[in-house]
Amino acid sequence: MPLASSSIADQNAKMQSVMGNHACALAAVAAGCRFFAGYPITPSSEVAERMSAELPKVDGVFIQMEDEIASIGAILGASMGGAKVMTATSGPGFSLKQENLGYASIAEIPCVIVNVMRGGPSTGMPTRPSQADIMQARWGSHGDHPIIVLTPASVDEIYTETVRAFNLSELLRVPVVLLWDEVIGHLIETIEVRGSADLRIVERNRAQSPPEQYKPFAETENGVPDMARPGDGYRTHTTGLTHGEDGFPTQDPATVDRMMSRLLGKLERNREQVESFELLECDDPDILIVAYGITSRAARRAVKLARERGIKVGMFRPITLWPFPEQSFKRVAAGASSILVPEMNAGQLCLEVERLCPSGCSVSRLNRIDGQAIDPDEILNRIAEMANHD
Protein backbone atom coordinates (compact mmCIF):
# COMPACT_ATOMS: atom_id res chain seq x y z
CA MET A 1 0.00 0.00 0.00
CA PRO A 2 1.50 3.33 -0.96
CA LEU A 3 2.50 5.76 1.80
CA ALA A 4 -0.14 8.40 2.37
CA SER A 5 0.81 11.80 1.02
CA SER A 6 0.56 13.09 4.56
CA SER A 7 3.65 11.12 5.57
CA ILE A 8 5.77 13.16 7.98
CA ALA A 9 8.74 12.54 5.74
CA ASP A 10 7.03 14.34 2.85
CA GLN A 11 8.41 17.84 2.47
CA ASN A 12 5.14 19.11 1.09
CA ALA A 13 2.97 17.66 3.85
CA LYS A 14 1.35 19.79 6.48
CA MET A 15 2.69 17.67 9.33
CA GLN A 16 6.38 16.98 8.96
CA SER A 17 9.18 15.44 10.94
CA VAL A 18 11.62 18.32 11.16
CA MET A 19 14.89 19.15 12.89
CA GLY A 20 14.81 22.29 15.02
CA ASN A 21 17.33 24.17 12.91
CA HIS A 22 15.49 23.26 9.74
CA ALA A 23 12.19 24.37 11.23
CA CYS A 24 13.74 27.80 11.66
CA ALA A 25 14.58 27.95 7.98
CA LEU A 26 11.12 26.86 6.91
CA ALA A 27 9.47 29.35 9.23
CA ALA A 28 11.72 32.16 8.04
CA VAL A 29 10.73 31.58 4.44
CA ALA A 30 7.05 31.37 5.42
CA ALA A 31 7.45 34.67 7.30
CA GLY A 32 8.79 36.33 4.15
CA CYS A 33 12.53 36.10 4.62
CA ARG A 34 14.13 36.45 1.19
CA PHE A 35 17.77 37.08 2.08
CA PHE A 36 20.08 35.01 4.22
CA ALA A 37 23.81 35.49 4.66
CA GLY A 38 25.71 33.24 6.98
CA TYR A 39 28.87 31.44 7.89
CA PRO A 40 29.07 27.81 8.98
CA ILE A 41 29.42 27.10 12.68
CA THR A 42 28.41 24.08 14.68
CA PRO A 43 25.67 23.58 15.84
CA SER A 44 23.87 26.15 13.68
CA SER A 45 25.01 25.20 10.18
CA GLU A 46 21.79 23.35 9.37
CA VAL A 47 19.91 26.65 9.40
CA ALA A 48 22.14 28.00 6.65
CA GLU A 49 22.09 24.72 4.77
CA ARG A 50 18.32 24.57 4.70
CA MET A 51 18.06 28.26 3.75
CA SER A 52 20.44 27.66 0.84
CA ALA A 53 18.02 25.03 -0.44
CA GLU A 54 14.76 26.88 0.25
CA LEU A 55 15.51 30.46 -0.79
CA PRO A 56 16.14 29.76 -4.47
CA LYS A 57 12.67 28.22 -4.66
CA VAL A 58 11.10 31.56 -3.73
CA ASP A 59 13.43 33.88 -5.69
CA GLY A 60 15.31 34.69 -2.52
CA VAL A 61 19.05 35.09 -2.18
CA PHE A 62 21.37 32.94 -0.11
CA ILE A 63 25.02 33.78 0.26
CA GLN A 64 27.72 32.27 2.39
CA MET A 65 29.92 35.21 3.34
CA GLU A 66 33.59 35.19 4.28
CA ASP A 67 32.98 35.51 8.01
CA GLU A 68 30.36 36.18 10.65
CA ILE A 69 30.82 39.90 10.52
CA ALA A 70 30.38 40.02 6.76
CA SER A 71 27.25 37.94 7.24
CA ILE A 72 25.55 40.36 9.56
CA GLY A 73 26.81 43.25 7.42
CA ALA A 74 25.26 41.72 4.34
CA ILE A 75 21.89 41.09 5.97
CA LEU A 76 21.75 44.64 7.30
CA GLY A 77 22.56 45.98 3.86
CA ALA A 78 19.79 43.85 2.38
CA SER A 79 17.37 44.92 5.10
CA MET A 80 18.12 48.57 4.44
CA GLY A 81 17.26 47.73 0.85
CA GLY A 82 13.84 46.51 2.02
CA ALA A 83 14.24 42.75 2.39
CA LYS A 84 13.37 40.57 5.39
CA VAL A 85 16.64 39.05 6.51
CA MET A 86 18.18 36.46 8.79
CA THR A 87 21.54 35.03 9.77
CA ALA A 88 22.44 32.13 12.05
CA THR A 89 25.44 31.34 14.17
CA SER A 90 26.71 30.03 17.50
CA GLY A 91 28.80 31.48 20.36
CA PRO A 92 32.05 32.50 18.67
CA GLY A 93 30.19 33.93 15.70
CA PHE A 94 27.66 35.63 17.94
CA SER A 95 30.54 37.38 19.65
CA LEU A 96 31.82 38.60 16.30
CA LYS A 97 28.45 40.02 15.36
CA GLN A 98 28.04 42.23 18.42
CA GLU A 99 29.27 45.50 16.97
CA ASN A 100 26.96 45.29 14.00
CA LEU A 101 24.07 44.20 16.22
CA GLY A 102 24.54 47.55 17.88
CA TYR A 103 24.41 49.19 14.47
CA ALA A 104 21.10 47.47 13.79
CA SER A 105 19.83 48.75 17.14
CA ILE A 106 20.73 52.39 16.70
CA ALA A 107 19.96 52.53 12.98
CA GLU A 108 16.72 50.62 13.65
CA ILE A 109 17.22 47.98 10.99
CA PRO A 110 14.91 44.95 11.16
CA CYS A 111 16.82 41.67 11.28
CA VAL A 112 16.71 38.23 12.85
CA ILE A 113 19.83 36.63 14.30
CA VAL A 114 19.82 33.00 15.35
CA ASN A 115 22.29 31.83 18.00
CA VAL A 116 22.30 28.10 18.65
CA MET A 117 24.08 27.94 21.97
CA ARG A 118 26.99 25.60 22.47
CA GLY A 119 29.57 25.12 25.21
CA GLY A 120 31.79 28.14 25.73
CA PRO A 121 33.66 30.29 26.29
CA SER A 122 35.76 30.57 23.13
CA THR A 123 35.83 27.35 21.09
CA GLY A 124 34.33 25.55 24.10
CA MET A 125 32.36 22.47 23.07
CA PRO A 126 31.15 22.93 19.50
CA THR A 127 28.83 19.95 19.59
CA ARG A 128 27.48 20.27 23.11
CA PRO A 129 24.64 22.41 24.41
CA SER A 130 24.74 25.26 26.88
CA GLN A 131 22.55 28.20 27.83
CA ALA A 132 25.51 30.40 28.52
CA ASP A 133 24.91 33.20 26.01
CA ILE A 134 21.74 34.64 27.48
CA MET A 135 23.36 37.59 29.17
CA GLN A 136 25.51 38.20 26.12
CA ALA A 137 22.39 38.21 23.97
CA ARG A 138 21.13 41.12 26.05
CA TRP A 139 24.36 42.95 26.74
CA GLY A 140 26.92 41.73 24.21
CA SER A 141 26.93 44.88 22.15
CA HIS A 142 28.35 48.07 23.62
CA GLY A 143 26.22 50.99 24.65
CA ASP A 144 22.58 51.20 25.64
CA HIS A 145 20.90 49.23 22.88
CA PRO A 146 17.38 47.84 22.61
CA ILE A 147 17.16 44.20 21.63
CA ILE A 148 14.60 41.39 21.77
CA VAL A 149 15.65 37.85 22.60
CA LEU A 150 13.34 34.86 22.18
CA THR A 151 13.96 31.37 23.63
CA PRO A 152 11.87 28.61 22.07
CA ALA A 153 11.75 25.26 23.84
CA SER A 154 10.57 22.90 21.10
CA VAL A 155 10.80 22.46 17.37
CA ASP A 156 7.24 23.68 16.99
CA GLU A 157 8.08 26.71 19.09
CA ILE A 158 11.16 27.36 16.94
CA TYR A 159 8.77 27.54 14.03
CA THR A 160 6.27 29.88 15.63
CA GLU A 161 8.88 32.01 17.38
CA THR A 162 10.87 32.45 14.18
CA VAL A 163 7.78 33.86 12.53
CA ARG A 164 7.20 36.01 15.60
CA ALA A 165 10.82 37.14 15.51
CA PHE A 166 10.33 38.53 12.02
CA ASN A 167 7.05 40.14 12.99
CA LEU A 168 8.52 41.87 16.03
CA SER A 169 11.60 42.94 14.15
CA GLU A 170 9.57 44.48 11.33
CA LEU A 171 7.02 46.05 13.64
CA LEU A 172 9.49 47.61 16.06
CA ARG A 173 12.54 48.04 13.80
CA VAL A 174 14.70 46.27 16.34
CA PRO A 175 17.12 43.33 15.98
CA VAL A 176 15.62 40.09 17.31
CA VAL A 177 17.83 37.28 18.54
CA LEU A 178 16.47 33.74 18.42
CA LEU A 179 18.25 31.78 21.10
CA TRP A 180 18.11 28.04 21.53
CA ASP A 181 20.53 25.38 22.66
CA GLU A 182 22.14 22.66 20.57
CA VAL A 183 19.67 20.06 21.84
CA ILE A 184 16.59 21.92 20.64
CA GLY A 185 18.42 22.79 17.43
CA HIS A 186 19.09 19.18 16.60
CA LEU A 187 15.94 17.67 18.02
CA ILE A 188 13.58 16.18 15.45
CA GLU A 189 9.89 16.57 16.24
CA THR A 190 6.73 16.39 14.22
CA ILE A 191 5.31 19.83 13.65
CA GLU A 192 2.71 21.54 11.59
CA VAL A 193 4.52 23.38 8.81
CA ARG A 194 2.23 26.37 8.48
CA GLY A 195 2.40 28.26 5.24
CA SER A 196 2.26 32.04 4.87
CA ALA A 197 -1.49 31.91 4.33
CA ASP A 198 -2.00 30.41 7.78
CA LEU A 199 0.28 32.79 9.61
CA ARG A 200 0.01 36.35 10.81
CA ILE A 201 2.77 38.17 8.95
CA VAL A 202 3.78 41.72 9.81
CA GLU A 203 5.52 44.05 7.37
CA ARG A 204 7.53 47.10 8.35
CA ASN A 205 5.68 50.39 8.04
CA ARG A 206 7.04 51.93 4.91
CA ALA A 207 7.37 55.66 4.53
CA GLN A 208 4.30 57.02 2.76
CA SER A 209 4.39 60.74 3.40
CA PRO A 210 5.75 63.18 0.81
CA PRO A 211 9.56 63.15 0.84
CA GLU A 212 9.80 66.83 1.84
CA GLN A 213 7.87 66.09 5.02
CA TYR A 214 9.37 62.73 5.87
CA LYS A 215 11.80 62.41 8.75
CA PRO A 216 13.47 59.01 8.84
CA PHE A 217 13.77 58.83 12.63
CA ALA A 218 10.74 60.75 13.72
CA GLU A 219 8.75 60.21 16.87
CA THR A 220 5.53 58.32 16.10
CA GLU A 221 2.57 56.89 18.02
CA ASN A 222 4.36 53.70 18.99
CA GLY A 223 7.82 55.18 18.89
CA VAL A 224 8.80 53.39 15.68
CA PRO A 225 9.59 55.54 12.65
CA ASP A 226 8.26 54.58 9.23
CA MET A 227 11.09 53.09 7.19
CA ALA A 228 12.02 54.49 3.82
CA ARG A 229 12.96 52.14 1.03
CA PRO A 230 15.78 53.19 -1.30
CA GLY A 231 14.33 54.06 -4.70
CA ASP A 232 11.05 55.43 -3.39
CA GLY A 233 12.28 59.01 -3.49
CA TYR A 234 13.27 59.61 0.11
CA ARG A 235 17.06 59.52 -0.20
CA THR A 236 17.63 59.15 3.52
CA HIS A 237 20.85 58.94 5.48
CA THR A 238 21.42 56.08 7.90
CA THR A 239 24.33 56.15 10.32
CA GLY A 240 25.57 54.48 13.48
CA LEU A 241 26.44 57.88 14.90
CA THR A 242 23.84 59.40 17.20
CA HIS A 243 21.46 61.25 14.96
CA GLY A 244 18.43 63.46 14.98
CA GLU A 245 15.05 62.85 13.44
CA ASP A 246 16.53 63.79 10.08
CA GLY A 247 19.06 60.95 10.32
CA PHE A 248 22.12 63.19 10.23
CA PRO A 249 24.82 62.90 12.89
CA THR A 250 24.58 65.13 15.93
CA GLN A 251 26.01 65.42 19.41
CA ASP A 252 23.57 68.05 20.56
CA PRO A 253 22.71 66.85 24.08
CA ALA A 254 18.98 67.53 23.87
CA THR A 255 18.64 65.80 20.51
CA VAL A 256 20.71 62.81 21.56
CA ASP A 257 18.78 62.41 24.78
CA ARG A 258 15.48 62.57 22.94
CA MET A 259 16.57 60.09 20.29
CA MET A 260 18.07 57.62 22.74
CA SER A 261 15.02 57.83 24.98
CA ARG A 262 12.73 57.05 22.08
CA LEU A 263 14.99 54.20 21.00
CA LEU A 264 15.20 52.68 24.46
CA GLY A 265 11.51 53.23 25.10
CA LYS A 266 10.32 51.32 22.03
CA LEU A 267 10.11 47.96 23.73
CA GLU A 268 8.42 49.14 26.90
CA ARG A 269 5.89 51.14 24.90
CA ASN A 270 5.00 48.02 22.98
CA ARG A 271 5.27 45.62 25.88
CA GLU A 272 2.09 43.61 25.18
CA GLN A 273 3.40 42.65 21.76
CA VAL A 274 6.87 41.84 23.02
CA GLU A 275 6.23 39.96 26.23
CA SER A 276 5.63 36.23 26.10
CA PHE A 277 5.87 33.51 28.71
CA GLU A 278 4.23 30.23 29.71
CA LEU A 279 2.86 29.36 33.13
CA LEU A 280 2.68 25.77 34.30
CA GLU A 281 0.81 25.01 37.53
CA CYS A 282 1.29 28.56 38.74
CA ASP A 283 -1.96 29.16 40.59
CA ASP A 284 -0.54 28.39 44.00
CA PRO A 285 3.15 27.57 43.85
CA ASP A 286 5.22 27.43 47.02
CA ILE A 287 8.19 26.65 44.86
CA LEU A 288 8.56 28.39 41.51
CA ILE A 289 10.86 27.08 38.79
CA VAL A 290 12.13 29.59 36.25
CA ALA A 291 13.44 27.73 33.22
CA TYR A 292 13.80 28.17 29.46
CA GLY A 293 14.83 26.12 26.45
CA ILE A 294 15.66 22.45 26.84
CA THR A 295 15.93 22.87 30.59
CA SER A 296 12.29 23.87 30.74
CA ARG A 297 11.34 20.52 29.27
CA ALA A 298 13.19 18.66 31.99
CA ALA A 299 11.60 21.03 34.50
CA ARG A 300 8.16 20.33 33.06
CA ARG A 301 8.58 16.65 33.85
CA ALA A 302 9.96 17.43 37.29
CA VAL A 303 6.97 19.66 38.03
CA LYS A 304 4.59 16.87 37.01
CA LEU A 305 6.30 14.30 39.20
CA ALA A 306 6.60 16.70 42.12
CA ARG A 307 2.91 17.58 41.96
CA GLU A 308 2.12 13.86 42.04
CA ARG A 309 3.96 13.80 45.34
CA GLY A 310 1.89 16.69 46.57
CA ILE A 311 4.55 19.37 46.29
CA LYS A 312 3.12 22.72 45.23
CA VAL A 313 5.53 23.60 42.49
CA GLY A 314 5.00 25.55 39.30
CA MET A 315 7.08 26.81 36.41
CA PHE A 316 7.44 30.27 34.91
CA ARG A 317 8.87 29.84 31.43
CA PRO A 318 9.97 32.99 29.65
CA ILE A 319 9.63 32.73 25.87
CA THR A 320 10.59 36.35 25.32
CA LEU A 321 13.69 36.32 27.48
CA TRP A 322 14.67 39.94 26.91
CA PRO A 323 13.19 42.29 27.80
CA PHE A 324 12.51 40.08 30.79
CA PRO A 325 8.81 40.18 31.77
CA GLU A 326 9.48 41.86 35.11
CA GLN A 327 5.99 42.81 36.21
CA SER A 328 4.46 39.52 35.12
CA PHE A 329 7.18 37.59 36.85
CA LYS A 330 6.78 39.55 40.08
CA ARG A 331 3.06 38.89 40.00
CA VAL A 332 3.50 35.14 39.53
CA ALA A 333 6.29 34.89 42.09
CA ALA A 334 4.38 36.87 44.68
CA GLY A 335 3.17 33.87 46.64
CA ALA A 336 6.21 31.64 46.31
CA SER A 337 8.53 31.01 49.24
CA SER A 338 11.39 29.80 47.10
CA ILE A 339 12.48 29.93 43.49
CA LEU A 340 14.71 27.51 41.61
CA VAL A 341 16.54 28.54 38.44
CA PRO A 342 18.00 25.53 36.62
CA GLU A 343 20.27 26.60 33.74
CA MET A 344 23.00 25.13 31.62
CA ASN A 345 25.44 27.85 32.57
CA ALA A 346 27.20 29.12 35.69
CA GLY A 347 24.25 31.24 36.72
CA GLN A 348 22.88 33.93 34.39
CA LEU A 349 19.11 34.23 34.38
CA CYS A 350 19.19 33.67 38.13
CA LEU A 351 20.77 37.13 38.44
CA GLU A 352 17.62 38.64 36.97
CA VAL A 353 15.43 36.46 39.15
CA GLU A 354 17.40 37.37 42.27
CA ARG A 355 16.98 41.02 41.40
CA LEU A 356 13.23 40.71 40.95
CA CYS A 357 12.20 38.10 43.48
CA PRO A 358 9.86 39.21 46.24
CA SER A 359 11.39 39.85 49.64
CA GLY A 360 11.24 36.85 51.88
CA CYS A 361 11.64 34.55 48.91
CA SER A 362 14.91 32.69 48.39
CA VAL A 363 16.44 31.92 45.02
CA SER A 364 18.41 28.73 44.41
CA ARG A 365 20.52 27.87 41.44
CA LEU A 366 20.89 24.53 39.71
CA ASN A 367 23.68 24.79 37.21
CA ARG A 368 25.34 22.43 34.76
CA ILE A 369 28.42 23.65 32.90
CA ASP A 370 29.63 20.31 31.51
CA GLY A 371 27.91 20.28 28.13
CA GLN A 372 25.12 18.01 29.35
CA ALA A 373 21.43 18.78 29.56
CA ILE A 374 19.95 18.93 33.04
CA ASP A 375 18.08 15.74 33.93
CA PRO A 376 14.49 15.94 35.21
CA ASP A 377 15.57 13.93 38.26
CA GLU A 378 18.15 16.54 39.20
CA ILE A 379 15.43 19.15 39.25
CA LEU A 380 12.99 16.87 41.03
CA ASN A 381 15.49 16.02 43.76
CA ARG A 382 16.22 19.68 44.32
CA ILE A 383 12.52 20.50 44.45
CA ALA A 384 12.09 17.79 47.07
CA GLU A 385 14.95 19.21 49.14
CA MET A 386 13.48 22.67 48.89
CA ALA A 387 10.06 21.36 49.86
CA ASN A 388 11.54 19.68 52.94
CA HIS A 389 13.22 22.86 54.02
CA ASP A 390 10.04 24.93 53.77
Partner 1 sequence: MTEASMHTFDVRDYLRLELMPHFMCPGCGHGIALRALLWAIYELNIDKDRLAIVSGIGCSGRVGAYIDANTMHVTHGRPLAYATGLKLARPDLEVIVITGDGDCLAIGGNHLIHACRRNLDFTCLMLNNEIYGMTGGQVSPTTTETRFTTTTPLGNHEPGFDACKLAAAAGAGLVGREITLQVPTLKDLIKEGISYSGFAFLEVISDCTEIYGRKNQLGESPEMMLGQKASTRSDVYKNTVDQPFRPNAFETGVLARNERPEYADAYRQHIARTVAKTR
Which positions lie near partner 1, rule CB under 8 A?
Answer: 34-35, 37, 56-59, 61, 63, 65-67, 69-71, 73-83, 85, 99-100, 103, 230-241, 248-249
320-322 and 125-129 beta bridge pairing: unpaired
| Residue 70 vs 369, nearer CB to partner 1 | 70
Smallest distance from partner 1 to CB 16, Å: 15
| Residue 66 vs 308, nearer CB to partner 1 | 66
In Å, how far are 4, 15, 26, 225, 361 from 221, measured between CA atoms?
51, 40, 33, 9, 39
| Residue 129 vs 247, nearer CB to partner 1 | 247
| Residue 234 vs 277, nearer CB to partner 1 | 234
Contact 188, 17 (CB under 8 A): yes
111-119 and 84-89 beta bridge pairing: parallel
Q: How far is Cα of residue 164 from the mean position of the Cα atoms in its chain?
A: 9
Smallest distance from partner 1 to CB 247, Å: 9
| Residue 262 to residue 251: CA distance in whole angstroms | 16
| Residue 125 vs 201, nearer CB to partner 1 | 201
| Residue 245 vs 278, nearer CB to partner 1 | 245
Smallest distance from partner 1 to CB 267, Å: 23
Smallest distance from partner 1 to CB 139, Å: 19
175-181 and 111-119 beta bridge pairing: parallel
Smallest distance from partner 1 to CB 211, Å: 9
Q: How many residues does the chain have?
A: 390
| Residue 368 to residue 88: CA distance in whole angstroms | 25
Smallest distance from partner 1 to CB 205, Å: 18
DSSP label at residue 327: H
